[in-house]
Structure 1
Amino acid sequence: MSATLSQLEKHDGFIARHIGPNEGQTAEMLKTLGVASLDALMQQIVPEQIRLNGPMALAPAKSEHEALAYLKKIASKNKIYKSFIGMGYYDTVTPPVILRNVLENPGWYTAYTPYQPEIAQGRLETLLNFQQMIVDFTGLDIANASLLDEGTAAAEAMALARRSSKSKSNQFFVDVDTHPQTIDVIRTRAEAFGFETVIAPASEALKHDYFGVLLSYPGSSGQVNDFSSLITALKDRKAVVILATDLLALCLLKSPGELGADIAIGSAQRFGVPFGFGGPHAAFMAGKDEHKRNLPGRIIGVSIDKRGNRALRMAMQTREQHIRREKATSNICTAQVLLSNMAVMYAMYHGPQGLKDIAERTHRLMSIFVAGLRAKGAHVDTKAFFDTVTVDVGSVREQVYMRALAHKMNLRLVGETKLGVSFDEKTTRDDVVALWEVFLQDQAQGLDVAQLDALFAQTGLQDIPDQLQRSSAYLTHPTFSRYHSETDMLRYLKQLENKDFSLTHGMIPLGSCTMKLNATSEMIPVTWPEFGDVHPFVPLVQAQGYLEMIHELEAQLRAITGFDAISIQPNSGAQGEYAGLLTIRKYHESRGEGHRNVCLIPQSAHGTNPASAQMANFRVVVTACDKEGNIDLADMEAKAKEHADNLACLMMTYPSTHGVYEESAKQICDLIHSYGGQVYMDGANLNAQVGLTAPARIGADVSHMNLHKTFCIPHGGGGPGMGPIGVRAHLAPFLPNHAVVHLEGPNPGNGSVSAAPWGSASILTISWAYITMMGPQGLKRATEYAILNGNYIAKRLGEHFPVLYTGRNGRVAHECILDIRPLKEASGISEEDIAKRLMDYGFHAPTMSFPVAGTLMVEPTESESKEELDRFIDAMISIRKEIDNVQNGVWPLDNNPLVNAPHTLADITEGEWTRPYSREQAVFPMPAQKHNKFWPSVNRIDNVYGDRNLFCVCPPMEDYQA
């Protein structure tokens, strides 16, 4: 054997499998670019003054099996106790057919946000089903396609109430019997907006005038109140009334709409989505028809395609934060698509009767438990309830709580003398008996579950008042009654999956969105019970595995970014922006400079930047870019000087949103600091920094990290994501804390930005695994290959499409912008026509018209091989020739493969073909496609029709059959 043992022990297999081009392909690509090595290319592109001097302080790479074995050992330190904590998080059974075929299926989790709806009809259908489900349960007119979590949904509802209310009050009332984490997130958002929050019993809601009132139904204590008369009185005072509610409870309780509520919010977590120590979970929001133009988040609407057939798309204010910028009503640019898909599939699998059975069983077990306690003289505070009660045990609370722990049961501590108990789908008769013994000890003898069950069978839902018992139907659309067998559900899931383009089909070259490989070994731990079955509010001694993994990830992110402290809490990139800006605001206030409220944002910034600044109550001042797309230094300095006394911060993206490494980045940071401001660096392009430079090295004070971009958490068809922030030491005290689980480091009084203390904790395992298996050398190599691939595409396509912006030596960063405007002017073919035509070639389009209208922004990532890059390049060159045919009059502008794209099976099976190009040109423009064709399921969708005829629930079943 010629190899040494040390060579044989090299564990670089994962790195080589993550990075697409092999050695031979790398050499060919470097030759095309005219450089001798990757290092030489980096020297040409990344400014010397920001380059790192040495490797990142990370542990050497582990192989896949080593990393998984190590993580399994960490996971084993989590203790899985039976949870009776409740507080908006409930144990649930994920049907295996949904677990395996959705949550664990890359055909579902590697798809991108459905901005190209013609190749996203599958998940758009499930999202429409989700909206229908929420509308049915809440009794309201319209629902969105999910929000990040219940706490942030409540905060968004408060903002919606302010926009909708005719009241002149600046006060927002919150029922004290609301989950404490929800109150915490509301307070944080209200403080930034300048609203005054009043937290008090619901009975006091009429003492003053409020622009909005949030009531909890059921309450956090479990109490179910009839709020109908209170809601009527509040609306007479022009208050917008929001009900925080529970989907399973609404199987049995009168709907919020029937009580008169304007808005309903809550979480769909208990519909088949594991605890995951806090997430990811899909929240929901529903409102009245009058709210449809102001409802935050994404809304899926029904439109028609070019043939007049039903087709789905994201409606109305989709990406309105990018369009309206600082005037946007929200910075939300994502949803929890994968999780809302799971929740609605759970509802479809069980159907209305199955869900009602689960609800009635859960309620019955709680009624039996309470009846047993009361029979033995125990004091149950809760008079009317669904699944949760509060028990006053007086001075023995600690003993009862510890007895529960000894039985591996978690109860909720309430006040000084009380304990909360919540039941769920997994609660059993044996649990009721065990809890009786915990609360009553020897007195529990003689209590019989079966005996009490027989009694309740005669009396019905005795613990829900008659006037609050639901009589209205829900989930009546046939789609909720068709898929109750596993065979039917399996085939339905596969049918939907086949309509959607994902990374399983080919490259998704989205500039700024970074659709990286989501390696299978990174995904496996997400569904381990050791991570999935942990309630976010367990005693931390039971979550030592989670804390160890999180602390290791924080250390990894510190080493990568150069920052001193990390907050894992923000559970989206936009929420990371918001959290970072709040941190800057609190820092200025701590120094007596709370008047600093001006946020400088370059014209090239992400659209969420000004929207986030507006949410943090900063005044946005836009700075210019020069003709090369760089920040205009002279204008930046002039604006900084003009607003010096009030300058709070600058928001910048690096490399820039225009896809280049700006030479003056360090100089810009120094300039802002000289005027007393802080630098916020948008982390959208962090994947072009890792190992070569770092935000702190460049001069940033705070930055968010899109874990779903740089660190491989999958996009899930439009969510989940994570957006932790890193900060320098002087900002560390001002990071988010949490009302329920107090975090070490940030000031104790700091509010939270997410419902759970560590955000969507269960998917942090993905980024931990990626960093652990790549190590410092692998991560640096990934950045180098992202830059190599981006420049290879720019070089080869630059001969056919103008590359709008380049940096030093005519190079780009990891992405490039192709300028379609001159071609459109010459030929009439638009960037949208090219995007749709790419579907016929078997590709998802690049990012369209962002950051510059009339362009395509291409980012290949490091995981695509030269073969795949060439396939995309060849497709684009072929499309360029098609444009020439239009320009030269070979094909008319109104009838050619581009304006008719995408082509479907319906096109080529129609009887008479009258188009000036062949059927083969339409659907097989490249020969290789005959062996591997992705078929769009609808023709080009009419966006205008969809907005003018807004319809956001499931159409009649005849439409599906047609």
Structure 2
Amino acid sequence: MERARRLANRAILKRLVNEAKQLHNGDMSCRSHVLYTPSRYVSSLSPFGSKVYKKSDLLDARNVSNNFGSQIRFISVDALKPSDTFPRRHNSATPEEQTNMAESCGFDSLDSLIDATVPKAIRIDSMKFSKFDGGLTESQMIAHMKDLESKNKVFKSFIGMGYYNTHVPPVILRNIMENPAWYTQYTPYQAEISQGRLDSLLSYQTLITDLTGLPMSNASLLDEGTAAAEAMAMCLKDIDYSSGDVCGVLVQYPGTEGEILDYGEFVKNAHAQGVKVVMATDLLALTVLKPPGELGADIVVGSAQRFGVPMGYGGPHAAFLATSQEYKRLMPGRIIGVSVDSSGKPALRMAMQTREQHIRRDKATSNICTAQALLANMAAMYAVYHGPEGLKAIARRVHGLAGVFASGLKKLGTVEVQGLPFFDTVKVTCADAHSIAGAAYKSGINLRVVDAKTITVSFDETTTLEDVDKLFKVFSGDKPVSFTAASLAPEVETAIPSGLERHSSYLTHSIFNTYHTEHELLRYMHRLQSKDLSLCHSMIPLGSCTMKLNATVEMMPVTWPGFTDIHPFAPPDQAQGYQEMFNNLGELLCTITGFDSFSLQPNAGAAGEYAGLMVIRAYHMSRGDYHRNVCIIPVSAHGTNPASAAMCGMKIVPVGTDSKGNINIEELRRAAEANRDKLSALMVTYPSTHGVYEEGIDEICKIIHANGGQVYMDGANMNAQVGLTSPGFIGADVCHLNLHKTFWIPHGGGGPGMGPIGVKKHLAPFLPSHPVVPTGGIPAPDKLNPLGTISAAPWGSALILPISYTYIAMMGSKGLTDASKIAILNANYMAKRLEKHYPVLFRGVNGTVAHEFIIDLRGFKNTAGIEPEDVAKRLMDYGFHAPTMSWPVPGTLMIEPTESESKAELDRFCDALISIREEIAEIENGKADIHSNVLKGAPHPPHVLMRDAWTKPYSREHAAFPASWLRTAKFWPTTGRVDNVYGDRNVICTLLPVSQMAEEAAAAAANA
């Protein structure tokens, strides 16, 4: 009987297979179709209109034969997959669109296009992860990150050392840190559509200058350690060698162990010897302490972290550097300045942009190109929210808690309290520091052990009287304490000497004295937000900067307390979730790049460049090759490359490119052989910055190795390598990765970024380490790690690493490979659409481009008087941010669409450029005036369009609405074209009173 049932079922299955052949026209490649489904799936599948057979039905031949008919449909396995898979949400082009787009480029499929584009010599067969190969769903990813968070232990931190817990005002957390309108903006190179964050960054600079007592500040640096190093380098560049061998001195105010010293006489003595003084300080302390500027300091550095930015296990945090007008041309980083627009209206811009390292190349005084704009904006809004009195109240409370603690310890009599004045940190001498720290640990408290007999305890905004009582219990040896912190408070006097108390005013501008309620701050931040174009509005097609989707699910863990509230120097067992993530991320990046080891410490791309070159330098030195200091850099390389090499003390030898934009291999060979005994490294970008996969890249690597050098590959274009090739496979020895480009960390209006470096095995011993928490690769057997520290925190900006981690883990190996393919497809599709209107400057051997391409505008200067800037500004009227302008080739635009932009958005941008080309043609044929036209007049903000008098030779209608889609969704620039020359001639880098702003505007309008 059972045998008969099996035979009957087999006959039914055969009939079903035949039916499947008929339904699919005999094509049985669709083997993902199933013939039956368990009962539990019936209710969910039935609504799709399919005739569904349960497994129980199939086991009974009579039921199936009675119900079987031509209406049967088959259930795809794909229909049973989870609904929250991620790659299909990121890689925007559908399979049908991919085929159609490839065909428009002259290829029958996407894979055919890829085969014609990426050289066979460097193609890898496939990429496979040991973890997350298939990719986690969004819900699985959230569950995984929750699990990692649960492995972190959030203790109450009293470690200090430049990192403090803080209350992030929820209105700032929700509306800036978690808001894509703030975190997806690009660096404000296009000022007319960046006025909101420029305004906020100007407030940040004003905050810094007011509190430090010095007139100039930049718009943030990577971290406090970087700021200190940059400040000392400024002293070196300004040295008078006749004064002796000391160019500068760095002091801490207040000190790391809490002491407050009066450096007034010290500064005078230093200046008398021609020595500059750099002072590292604490912004909160400066609300009650005499500012460094009044003590005579030349440069002041520090971190704005405790102004409403989470510790995040080390970053990202906005560092600052303030100095006098005398040193403004030596200042690293970006400076926001006040200028005017074309109508004389006040407008903001990045001041003195010729200082930017990518322009100055090997003559740069710094290689810093990434700020911490998002975090600087948070700190600025924190100061706006609290105002000067609110900040002073917080400082006095923190100082008061430290004073109560010191008073209580004296009352206990079990330890000795340092007698020097302090602000927030109390230094304690005891019999056994480790024993006390161990007791504190058992109570969920972290203390800083300086040495066997010394402990410091640092207080912050989140400390309570109850926390102080817990500390008393720890220091009493768990014995009963006869007093409480609250009972001691009325008797405690300030520990700040009267001569060091602050009497000067600060934050007097109305911005810091108006928005102290949540409702008002919310409205103010939204007014700023509305002035900035971000990925919320449209694609940002920047060549080399990869402005792609920053998905919500990857951003979520960044604000979870288990990740935000951990001190970077907390004991390792309290950060097991972080450590597991670091290990997983390192393994994934090694697989992606073909390298053997990774350092996650560099917290920006340029910092990664510097770290990678220093690793190479350390490797050569370990072999006794101290003389190897020549770095070969193609002229097509990223502008940061020469600056980084110069910062490492290397001699730069440039090599040219051929007519197709490829590195001139024979010239490179001659340069390598001529410098054979001194060759240290080659810096190369792949695909090239010209948007081409160079065929000879593997040969180039062999030439360098044959002449004793190492190959440094700039990872800026890794977006076109992942899953198709890799730096390690090509032949590179070290490479940095811009996680804010290829791996999704959002640009945040100009930062944060991350630049981890990967290395081959022989370079692993020389990876960065850290003096507080050892990190890096394999310790060198016969010496300490010769490279040292690159960033202030052991793992750099650890808090944003979950973003890249979740992206990679959700995409899986196939999703990432497809992303590379679609990025290449999108670029070729756009290049094909635009080639009839603009010359495409460089192509590969088969006529294709890589993931980005360059269109040539140089001819329009002669035919129509049009510059790339005119096209960039006119694009704003169409609702778009311009592509990368005049780099790497002057007079061009470099376009990178990324894989996450839809075909519809690509077409819309192409339509805008084609429409602009038609506007240029009207100038060329005499229909539009060569001096007064929509391009020269762009952008067109509302205040210009709504003037009573309209004197332009073109209509308001055409100026404002040059494309049909603008009728339903128009992003309005808030200012006319900003006058760069005026801004550089009149350098103003702080908020001005409204009356003075009006005077400046009137004067500019009169001179226009």
TM over 0.5: yes
Written as runs of structure 1 = structure 2, the 5 A alignment for 1:438-453 is 438-441=474-477, 445-453=481-489
Give 1:744 deviation, angstroms.
Answer: 5.6
Give 1:327 deviation, angstroms.
Answer: 1.1
Aligned to 2:172: 98
Q: How many residues align?
A: 919
Partner SS for 1:890? coil
Structure 1 residues 751 and 382 mapped into 2: Cα distance closer, same or farther (>3 Å)?
farther
Picking from 269, 283, 290, the partner of 1:254 is 290
Give 1:959 deviation, angstroms.
Answer: 6.1
Aligned to 1:124: 198
Written as runs of structure 1 = structure 2, the 5 A alignment for 1:346-365 is 346-365=382-401
Aligned to 2:623: 591
Structure 1 residues 588 and 11 mapped into 2: Cα distance closer, same or farther (>3 Å)?
farther
Give 1:443 deviation, angstroms.
Answer: 6.0
1:334 lines up with 2:370 in the alignment: yes
Q: Deviation string for 1:117-171 (max 9, x for gaps)?
A: 000000000100000000000000100000000001000001011112324578x
Picking from 317, 331, 334, the partner of 1:295 is 331
Moved more, 600-609 or 382-391: 382-391
1:826 lines up with 2:863 in the alignment: yes
Picking from 304, 307, 311, the partner of 1:275 is 311
Aligned to 2:498: 466
Q: Which amino acid aligns with 1:795?
A: K
Aligned to 2:320: 284
Q: What is the alpha-carbon distance in structure 2 between the residues aligned to residue 11 and residue 754 of structure 1?
A: 41
Q: Which amino acid aligns with 1:612?
A: S
Q: Deviation string for 1:571-628 (max 9, x for gaps)?
A: 0000000000000000000111111000000000111000000111111110111111
Q: What is the alpha-carbon distance in structure 1 between the residues aligned to residue 572 and residue 954 of structure 2?
A: 66
Q: What is the alpha-carbon distance in structure 1 between the residues aligned to residue 942 and residue 356 of structure 2?
A: 34
Q: What is the alpha-carbon distance in structure 1 between the residues aligned to residue 455 and residue 761 of structure 2?
A: 39
Picking from 871, 889, 893, the partner of 1:852 is 889
Q: What is the alpha-carbon distance in structure 2 between the residues aligned to residue 169 and residue 667 of structure 1?
A: 50
Q: Is the 8 A contact 1:605 1:653 kept in 2?
A: yes
Q: Which amino acid aligns with 1:919?
A: R
Q: Deviation string for 1:37-80 (max 9, x for gaps)?
A: 11100110000010002233352111101011011101110000
Aligned to 1:203: none
Q: Deviation string for 1:847-870 (max 9, x for gaps)?
A: 001101110000000011110000
Picking from 189, 194, 202, the partner of 1:115 is 189
Partner SS for 1:660? coil
RMSD: 1.3
Partner SS for 2:519? helix
Picking from 773, 779, 800, the partner of 1:763 is 800
Picking from 528, 535, 543, the partner of 2:560 is 528
1:900 lines up with 2:933 in the alignment: no
Q: What is the alpha-carbon distance in structure 2 between the residues aligned to residue 215 and residue 379 of structure 1?
A: 25
Aligned to 1:191: none
Partner SS for 2:86? helix
Moved more, 19-28 or 806-815: 19-28
Q: Is the 8 A contact 2:84 2:139 kept in 1?
A: no
Q: What is the alpha-carbon distance in structure 1 between the residues aligned to residue 349 and residue 298 of structure 2?
A: 26
Aligned to 2:972: 935
Structure 1 residues 813 and 574 mapped into 2: Cα distance closer, same or farther (>3 Å)?
same
Written as runs of structure 1 = structure 2, the 5 A alignment for 1:296-695 is 296-317=332-353, 320-377=356-413, 378-394=415-431, 396-441=432-477, 445-456=481-492, 459=493, 461=494, 463-695=495-727
1:784 lines up with 2:821 in the alignment: yes
Written as runs of structure 1 = structure 2, the 5 A alignment for 1:147-158 is 147-158=221-232
Structure 1 residues 744 and 649 mapped into 2: Cα distance closer, same or farther (>3 Å)?
closer
Q: What is the alpha-carbon distance in structure 2 between the residues aligned to residue 728 and residue 12 of structure 1?
A: 37
* Identity, % of aligned positions: 57
Q: Deviation string for 1:633-689 (max 9, x for gaps)?
A: 110001001100000000000000000000000000000000000000000100000
Structure 1 residues 327 and 36 mapped into 2: Cα distance closer, same or farther (>3 Å)?
same
Give 1:317 deviation, angstroms.
Answer: 4.0
Q: What is the alpha-carbon distance in structure 1 between the residues aligned to residue 924 and residue 712 of structure 2?
A: 45
Partner SS for 1:644? coil
Q: What is the alpha-carbon distance in structure 2 between the residues aligned to residue 230 and residue 370 of structure 1?
A: 28
Partner SS for 2:331? coil
Q: What is the alpha-carbon distance in structure 1 between the residues aligned to residue 141 and residue 996 of structure 2?
A: 49
Q: Deviation string for 1:327-379 (max 9, x for gaps)?
A: 10000111100000000100110000000000000000100100111123220
Partner SS for 1:898? helix
Moved more, 133-142 or 738-747: 738-747
1:135 lines up with 2:171 in the alignment: no
Q: Which amino acid aligns with 1:26?
A: Q
Q: Is the 8 A contact 2:339 2:979 kept in 1?
A: yes
Q: What is the alpha-carbon distance in structure 1 between the residues aligned to residue 311 and residue 412 of structure 2?
A: 33
Q: What is the alpha-carbon distance in structure 2 between the residues aligned to residue 746 and residue 847 of structure 1?
A: 40
Partner SS for 2:535? coil
> Unpaired segments of 5 or more residues in structure 1?
171-208
Aligned to 2:129: 57
Q: Deviation string for 1:531-567 (max 9, x for gaps)?
A: 0011000000000000001110000000000000000
Aligned to 1:18: 90
Partner SS for 2:476? helix
Give 1:5 deviation, angstroms.
Answer: 5.2
Rg comparison, structure with higher value: 2
Q: Which amino acid aligns with 1:776?
A: S
Q: What is the alpha-carbon distance in structure 1 between the residues aligned to residue 456 and residue 404 of structure 2?
A: 16
Give 1:632 deviation, angstroms.
Answer: 0.3
1:709 lines up with 2:746 in the alignment: no
Partner SS for 1:44? helix
Q: Which amino acid aligns with 1:572?
A: A
Q: Is the 8 A contact 2:314 2:568 kept in 1?
A: yes
Q: Is the 8 A contact 2:361 2:643 kept in 1?
A: yes
Aligned to 1:194: none
Q: What is the alpha-carbon distance in structure 1 between the residues aligned to residue 569 and residue 915 of structure 2?
A: 56
Q: What is the alpha-carbon distance in structure 2 between the residues aligned to residue 898 and residue 544 of structure 1?
A: 56
Q: What is the alpha-carbon distance in structure 1 between the residues aligned to residue 951 and residue 937 of structure 2?
A: 13
Structure 1 residues 930 and 6 mapped into 2: Cα distance closer, same or farther (>3 Å)?
closer
Q: What is the alpha-carbon distance in structure 2 between the residues aligned to residue 744 and residue 303 of structure 1?
A: 45
Picking from 230, 238, 243, the partner of 2:266 is 230
Q: Is the 8 A contact 1:321 1:331 kept in 2?
A: yes
1:165 lines up with 2:239 in the alignment: yes
Q: Which amino acid aligns with 2:828?
A: N
Q: What is the alpha-carbon distance in structure 2 between the residues aligned to residue 742 and residue 382 of structure 1?
A: 33
Q: What is the alpha-carbon distance in structure 1 between the residues aligned to residue 716 and residue 805 of structure 2?
A: 19
Aligned to 1:185: none
Aligned to 1:47: 119
Partner SS for 1:810? coil
Structure 1 residues 382 and 648 mapped into 2: Cα distance closer, same or farther (>3 Å)?
farther
Structure 1 residues 169 and 646 mapped into 2: Cα distance closer, same or farther (>3 Å)?
farther
TM-score (norm 2): 0.90
Q: What is the alpha-carbon distance in structure 1 between the residues aligned to residue 601 and residue 466 of structure 2?
A: 36
Q: Deviation string for 1:770-820 (max 9, x for gaps)?
A: 000000000000000000000011111011000111112111100010110
Partner SS for 2:168? coil
Aligned to 2:838: 801
Structure 1 residues 417 and 660 mapped into 2: Cα distance closer, same or farther (>3 Å)?
same
Q: Deviation string for 1:857-909 (max 9, x for gaps)?
A: 00000011110000000000000000011111111111100000000111221
Give 1:318 deviation, angstroms.
Answer: 5.5
Partner SS for 1:650? strand
Give 1:6 deviation, angstroms.
Answer: 7.0
Q: Is the 8 A contact 1:436 1:444 kept in 2?
A: no
